[in-house]
């Protein structure tokens, strides 16, 4: 599974600084991780640079891993970059220019899942879109690990970018809950994604992918060895950042975030209880921002969709 991961994990810290990780929620299997925007040498945060970093990961996120391997092999064979360049264009064209699109948050969730947690994406849903003007249905991402007992831990992803933390937390966990709590049945919210996983799950290696897909074969006993969890990301407006163009040192932002974490965790804990999510392993990312709407706009601008 580790071989399916993409990208340099250290590059994430160029744009996002870790405030605290693995903060526990009493009575739940939740681990809260908090990041803030990194501060440059001029005492500024750079959401535009973060958006450009996200754009650089388009191919990794939006193209199935097996297609990436084929393109790399072709470019090496012909000493070219044409195949990968074409994939980047194809990936960009799957993103929507609709207002209030959540696709930037979904890509950011992907980067944190793969490069921070080390959980590879196993279903590339952007590649399944039939139109750039619609969002894909189901979870915002599907990630997986396998434990030492051969149990597949399947993590459903949900992301929300809002102006207030409490609204983001409420909406994110309300969207995530059905994927974890609904009974196994044809009408469950996750069923469509499970069907896609049985046919479209992709780790970039034929042997690994074949082994993974067996977990989603309802005629196989191994399909009973799947355990559900969640990865949640909330980005929200926060006053931990300086107003307008004032310079600041990163330690000041980190200290302000640490002071606010207990309040965010309390809100998370309340919603976990409300949605009956206490028994499920959930990694919950909090990302305070100068403006969630501005990050959404900068991402669209970076893609040339503004």
Which pLDDT value is given to residue 131? 61
By residue range, what is the domain housing residue 169? 2-302
Residue 174, both tokens: 């309300």
- Tell me the three state secondary structure of residue 272: helix
- Cβ 142 vs Cβ 166: under 8 Å: no
Cα–Cα distance for residue pair 69/84, rounded to 1 Å = 10
- Cβ 126 vs Cβ 91: under 8 Å: yes
Secondary structure letter of residue 40 according to DSSP = -
Percentage of the chain beyond pLDDT 70 is 97
Q: Poorest-confidence range of 19-33, 128-142, 234-248?
A: 128-142
Query: Which whole-number Å values give the CA distances from 51 to 12, 46, 221, 238, in the listed order?
Result: 12, 9, 44, 18
Secondary structure letter of residue 39 according to DSSP = B
| DSSP states along 76-87 | HHHT-SHHHHHH
Cα–Cα distance for residue pair 223/225, rounded to 1 Å = 5
- Tell me the three state secondary structure of residue 35: strand
Q: What is the pLDDT of residues 196-230, one digit of tens each?
A: 999 999 999 999 999 999 999 989 999 999 999 99
Which pLDDT value is given to residue 92? 93
Contacts of 2 (CB under 8 A, 6+ apart): 118, 120
- Cβ 287 vs Cβ 235: under 8 Å: yes
Cα–Cα distance for residue pair 267/99, rounded to 1 Å = 28
Any alpha helices (H) in the chain, and if so which ranges? 12-15, 47-56, 58-62, 65-78, 82-92, 103-112, 165-181, 191-200, 206-213, 250-274, 292-302
Place of tokens 């996983």: 197
Residue 101, pLDDT > 90, answer: no
Cα–Cα distance for residue pair 248/17, rounded to 1 Å = 14
Average pLDDT of span 117-132: 83
Percentage of the chain beyond pLDDT 90 is 83
**pLDDT classification of 12: cutoffs 50, 70, 90:** very high
Beta-bridged to residue 72, according to DSSP, are none
Place of tokens 């290696």: 205
Contacts of 30 (CB under 8 A, 6+ apart): 24, 268, 269, 272, 277, 281, 282, 283, 284
Q: Give which of 283, 240, 263 is closest to 36, Cα–Cα.
A: 240
Which pLDDT value is given to residue 125? 84
Place of tokens 């440059």: 40
Query: What's the total number of domains in the chain?
Result: 1
- Cβ 284 vs Cβ 41: under 8 Å: no
Residue 34, both tokens: 């908090």
Q: What is the pLDDT of residues 130-179, one digit of tens each?
A: 665 555 567 889 999 999 999 999 999 999 999 999 999 999 999 999 99
Q: Poorest-confidence range of 5-9, 16-20, 240-244?
A: 240-244
Secondary structure letter of residue 97 according to DSSP = -
| Terminal-to-terminal C-alpha distance of the chain | 37
């Amino acid at each position: 599974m580790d071989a399916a991961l993409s990208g340099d994990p250290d590059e994430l810290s160029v744009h996002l600084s870790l405030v605290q990780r693995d903060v526990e929620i009493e009575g739940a299997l939740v681990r809260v991780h908090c990041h803030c925007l990194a501060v440059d040498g001029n005492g500024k945060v750079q959401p535009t640079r973060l958006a450009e970093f996200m754009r650089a990961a388009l191919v990794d996120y939006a193209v199935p891993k097996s297609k990436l391997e084929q393109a790399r092999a072709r470019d090496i064979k012909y000493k070219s970059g044409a195949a990968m360049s074409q994939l980047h264009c194809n990936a960009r064209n799957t993103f929507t220019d609709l207002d209030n699109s959540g696709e930037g948050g979904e890509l950011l969730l992907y980067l944190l899942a793969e490069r921070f947690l080390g959980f590879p994406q196993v279903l590339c849903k952007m590649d399944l879109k039939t139109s750039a003007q619609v969002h894909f249905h189901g979870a915002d991402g599907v990630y997986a690990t396998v434990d030492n007992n051969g149990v597949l831990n399947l993590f459903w992803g949900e992301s929300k970018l809002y102006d207030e933390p409490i609204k983001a937390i409420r909406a994110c966990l309300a969207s995530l809950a059905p994927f974890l709590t609904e009974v196994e049945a044809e009408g469950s919210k996750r069923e469509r994604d499970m069907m896609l996983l049985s046919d479209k799950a992709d780790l970039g290696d034929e042997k690994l992918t074949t082994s993974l897909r067996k977990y989603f074969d309802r005629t196989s006993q191994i399909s009973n060895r799947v355990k559900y969890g969640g990865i949640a990301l909330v980005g929200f407006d926060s006053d931990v950042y300086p107003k307008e163009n004032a310079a600041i040192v990163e330690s000041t932002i980190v200290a302000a975030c640490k002071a606010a974490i207990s309040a965010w965790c309390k809100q998370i804990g309340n919603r976990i209880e409300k949605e009956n999510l206490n028994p499920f392993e959930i990694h919950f990312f909090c990302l305070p921002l100068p403006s969630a709407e501005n990050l959404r706009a900068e991402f669209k601008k970076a893609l040339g969709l503004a």
